[in-house]
Amino acid sequence: MATQHSRSAARIMMAPAVILLLGWMLVPLTMTLYFSFKKYLPLRGGDLGWIGFDNYVRFVSSSAFWPSVQTTLVIVLGVLLITVVLGVLLALLLDQPMWGQGVVRILVIAPFFVMPTVSALVWKNMFMDPVNGLLAHLWKFFGAQPIEWLSNAPLISIILIVAWQWLPFATLILLTAIQSLDSEQLEAAEMDGAPPLSRFGYIILPHLARAITIVVLIQTIFLLAVFAEIFVTTQGSFGTRTLTYLIFQRVLESQNVGLGSAGGVYAIILANIVAIFLMRIVGKNLDA
């Protein structure tokens, strides 16, 4: 029952947020588009004029492009798969009656609070180092040859580090969702003789669908932008150069702004494809 008056008040209250975000989106975006059509090398001659779609063609035809797209997708999907599957299992476990549940939950959540540069450095040096790392000690203990994680299994290493950081987030949200499940429904199913697997498949999992959607959405936003974990560990070598990292190198390391900006436009398009897909699901949830 909003009146005309409250409507205009609402508009004013919304204005700062909308205007700021609009500016934050449009100004840099316009500049990126502008640079992407220029030959622009700040350290080697500066603005060298318009060159049409040259940067776009060069960025895609460079040998680094497709591998970087592939790397990005492997990391995002790998982490999502691990965190959602383990998150569901962990949430189911933590939902069971036990002693010290609160403490266990604290232990599980902790990695979420660790800043990315710290977790990357700790994993890189203290766990994955082929000589002094703890995993190397473990391998040697079992008589195996230690793995050179970051050079021989670089993608798995990075997925492992990032998944460790995001598993708590998934677990936490899924646990809360499970706890909101009507336990009488489960008991009724149990009394009717439904085995655990079908109780999980027909009651728990459908109930979790919404939570899983949220987890996937929020994580994807952050995972597409993974940066520090690569910056600190491999610096993009050994096939760990994601699209984000490739553009970062073009823009800040080789100072080829035109080319990097064209790459930026591609990254934005890629992110939007994912976004449209995900937003539709969230939009549906907003209605419900």
Partner 1 sequence: MARKVTTRRKTINTVFAWMIGLLIFFPILWTILTSFKTEAQAISDPPVFFFFDWTLENYAVVQERSDYMRFLWNSVILAGGSTVLGLIIAVPAAWSMAFVPSKRTKDILMWMLSTKMLPAVGVLYPIYLLFIKLGLLDTRIGLTIVLMLINLPIIVWMLYTYFKEIPGEILEAARMDGASLKEEILYILTPMAVPGIASTLLLNFILAWNEAFWTLNLTAAKAAPLTAFIASYSSPEGLFYAKLSAASTMAIAPILILGWFSQKQLVRGLTFGAVK
Residue 164 as a binder of partner 1 (CB under 8 A): the answer is yes
Side-chain half-sphere of 203: how many Cα atoms within 13 Å? Answer: 21
Task: Determine the interface stretch with partner 1 among 45-53, 77-85, 145-153, 268-276 (rule: CB under 8 A).
Answer: 268-276
Residue 77 as a binder of partner 1 (CB under 8 A): the answer is no
Task: Determine the interface stretch with partner 1 among 44-52, 63-71, 75-83, 225-233 (rule: CB under 8 A).
Answer: 225-233
Find out whether 179 and 220 touch, Cβ atoms under 8 Å. no
Nearer to partner 1, 35 or 78 (CB): 35
Task: Determine the interface stretch with partner 1 among 50-58, 148-156, 195-203, 277-285 (rule: CB under 8 A).
Answer: 277-285
We find the least distance from the C-beta atom of residue 239 to partner 1, in angstroms, to be 19
Residues in 173-202 that interact with partner 1 by CB under 8 A: 173, 175-177, 180, 183-184, 187
From 77, 158, 164, select the one nearest 114 (Cα to Cα).
164
Task: Determine the interface stretch with partner 1 among 47-55, 60-68, 147-155, 259-267 (rule: CB under 8 A).
Answer: 259-267
Q: Which of 51, 73, 74, 121 binds partner 1 (CB under 8 A)?
A: 121
Residue 123 as a binder of partner 1 (CB under 8 A): the answer is yes
CA distance 207 to 192: 19
Which residue blocks in the chain are alpha helix, DSSP H? 4-36, 54-61, 65-95, 101-109, 116-122, 134-141, 149-152, 154-179, 183-191, 196-199, 205-223, 228-233, 243-248, 257-287
Residue 203 as a binder of partner 1 (CB under 8 A): the answer is no
Find out whether 133 and 148 touch, Cβ atoms under 8 Å. no
We find the least distance from the C-beta atom of residue 104 to partner 1, in angstroms, to be 4
Find out whether 226 and 242 touch, Cβ atoms under 8 Å. yes
We find the least distance from the C-beta atom of residue 114 to partner 1, in angstroms, to be 5
Residue 92 as a binder of partner 1 (CB under 8 A): the answer is no
b/e per residue 158-196 (b: at least 16 CB within 10 A):
bbbbbbbbbbbbbbbbbbebbeeeeeeebeebeeeebee
Residue 25 as a binder of partner 1 (CB under 8 A): the answer is yes
Q: Which of 103, 145, 192, 193 binds partner 1 (CB under 8 A)?
A: 103
Task: Determine the interface stretch with partner 1 among 57-65, 76-84, 143-151, 217-225 (rule: CB under 8 A).
Answer: 217-225
